[in-house]
Amino acid sequence: MINTRHRIEFDPDRCVGCQLCYKSCFVDVIRWDAESRRPVFKYVSDCEHCFYCEALCKQNAIHVIPAYASEHLLQSFDPYR
């Protein structure tokens, strides 16, 4: 489990190395470790909470858990800004 203000939980035992999560992440939070054939999560606070990675993972190995009270999300959801 990676902890920042937002969390992405990853279970490497469920992962089959299909790379779908890695290819879906457009902000490079998910990198690829070729040696272990598993995703690596970097700069999780840059996650845009699109949930592509979680939705595409057929193995249910990824869970994106936004910190809804964080300043980042409050700014992006505020329609008056």
Residues 6 or more apart whose Cβ sits within 8 Å of residue 23:
none
Beta bridge partners of 13: none
What is the footprint of ligand SF4 within residues 7-26 (CB under 6 A)?
Answer: 8, 15-21, 24-25
User: Which of 75, 80 has the CB closer to ligand SF4?
Assistant: 75
User: Which of 33, 74 has the CB closer to ligand SF4?
Assistant: 33
What is the footprint of ligand SF4 within residues 20-79 (CB under 6 A)?
Answer: 20-21, 24-25, 27, 29-30, 39, 47-53, 56-57, 59, 61-62, 64
Write down the residue that tokens 């995703």 correspond to.
Answer: 39
User: Which of 14, 80 has the CB closer to ligand SF4?
Assistant: 14
Instruction: List phi, psi (to 5°) of 31.
Output: -105, 175
**Side-chain-side CA neighbours of residue 17 (13 Å):** 6
